[in-house]
Amino acid sequence: MNKKHLFNRRQTLLLGLGSIVSMSTLALGSTLKPQQASNHQKRNFAASGNLPLARRAAAKGLIYGAAVRKYALSSDAQLAARFTRECAMLVPEWELKWNFLRPKPNTFNFAPADWLAAFAQTHRMLFRGHTLVWHEPHALPEWFSIVNSQNARQILLEHIATVVGHYAGKIHSWDVVNEAISVKDGRSDGLRETPWLKFLGSDYIELAFRAAAKADPKALLVYNDYGLDYDTPEADAKRTAVLKLLKRLKSRGTPIHALGIQAHLSASETRFNPQKLQKFLSDVASLGLKILISELDVKDKELPVNINIRDRLVAATYEDYLSVVLDEPAVTAVITWGLSDRYTWISEFEARPDSLPVRPLPLDADINRKLAWNAIARAFDQAPKR
Ligand code: G3I
């Protein structure tokens, strides 16, 4: 299929998503009209064969993996079996964050993350690090309150040297800096007001990348952020600010190799503009950077109760998004933020108002493949080879 046809096909898919979603909005608290219900049922999510996601991705020169928590992988044999089958990359969802890794200023606890690294190695999966510099209080230890402008540089550099050094040569990539842009904070450079910015100034990002490169010259060094996906004024501003940051880092010779686009999507969001997203991806690629879809999942908070409808809308969101981003050859990996609905941050942070279990990931809470899995499989099967 040539590019033009592919594009037209995707436009049709996206129009389909728009109508499905507006229909689902109608369906909230009411019932679907028969005509709408039959349109909705028409979309085909059949995936050919039984091959796992990792194999389908690999056939296109892509990596597929997922984030996971050590307690889940070590205690849930069903999850572990599926994880090793579906994934070619493992990302600790919690265990490489400061609150887990550095319980005291001078104490590092690598045991949980090392367990995950060993699991990945045993099962021939790549291991990816998340994250070295993040402001989020949930992910920082209590002692972090001692950090000030006198000691911040030393504490940060020590952290990066110790942690990156620990996995040097054994890790695929590091999210060196996470979520450093927040346009609404009002600065002209778009940087988020964080303790790191306050204590170290705007060069803290470059400092962190240089320290990571020194500790592991082989790892792919990533800037990771969210809110880059949709056609909204906020996302426009964020894409502009992220691009500006990446350009600045590159122009200063900073060792940065990739952008991580988190892609926490929402199945009820219709403001999706493929051309805009593709332009952003190609602008990033033209800086010589790779792109990782680093935390993909699909929220179903505003969708109807009916699981069949919900699963179709979530699947449509996955396939429509991936079919657009995988057209960009610089995209080299797709990582879902979890594998099964049994373990997902969305059940805690983006729960449904009716308290029904959320269904944002490729496998359901019984660890079985669902339509979201088919959608990802289809997108990999249709992706151009890199
Ligand atoms: O620390 C306790 C732990 O001891 C206990 O076993 C567990 C039982 O539920 O709770 C633990 O606290 C959890 C903590 O992660 C672990 O550090 C919190 O409840 C939980 O709210 C917290 O949330 C994580 C959050 O990052 C902060 O680290 C989410 O699970 C995780 O999915 C989320 O991931 C972030 C990415 O890092 C960055 N991008 C956005 C993404 C989603 O918010």
> Domain locations in the chain?
53-382
Write out pLDDT tens, residues 316-368: 999 999 999 999 999 999 999 999 999 999 999 999 999 999 999 999 999 99
Q: What per-residue confidence (pLDDT) applies to 202?
A: 98
* Atom of ligand 1 at shortest range from CA of 99: 17
Tell me which residue has its CA closest to atom 36 in ligand 1: 93
Catalytic residue among 86, 93, 295, 328: 295
Residue 16 pLDDT grade (very low, low, confident, very high; cuts 50, 70, 90): very low
Fold of 53-382: TIM Barrel (3.20.20)
Q: Is 100 helix (H, G, I), strand (E, B) or coil?
A: helix
Q: What is the mean pLDDT of the chain?
A: 92
C-alpha 383/C-alpha 386 separation (Å) is 9
Residue type, 169: G
Q: Decide if pLDDT at 59 tops 70.
A: yes
For residues 16 and 316, the answer to whether their CB atoms sit within 8 Å is yes
Q: What per-residue confidence (pLDDT) applies to 3?
A: 41
Q: How far is the CA of 337 from the centre of ligand 1 (A)?
A: 12
Q: Decide if pLDDT at 38 tops 50.
A: no
Catalytic annotation present for 142: no
Q: What per-residue confidence (pLDDT) applies to 42?
A: 83
Catalytic annotation present for 350: no
* Atom of ligand 1 at shortest range from CA of 337: 32
Helix (H) or strand (E) holding 40: helix 34-42
Q: Decide if pLDDT at 170 tops 90.
A: yes
For residues 306 and 24, the answer to whether their CB atoms sit within 8 Å is no
Residue type, 61: G
DSSP state for residue 46 in the 8-state scheme: -
Q: Is 261 helix (H, G, I), strand (E, B) or coil?
A: strand
Write out pLDDT tens, residues 299-314: 999 999 999 999 999 9
Q: What per-residue confidence (pLDDT) applies to 260?
A: 99
C-alpha 323/C-alpha 301 separation (Å) is 23
Ligand 1 first shell, C-beta below 6 A: 93-94, 97, 99, 136, 138-139, 178, 226, 262, 295, 345, 348-349
Mean pLDDT of 139-160: 98
Give the pair of three-digit tokens for residue 349. 């942070």
Mean pLDDT of 63-83: 98
- Give how far Cα 59 sits from Cα of 247, 296, 327, Å: 32, 20, 15
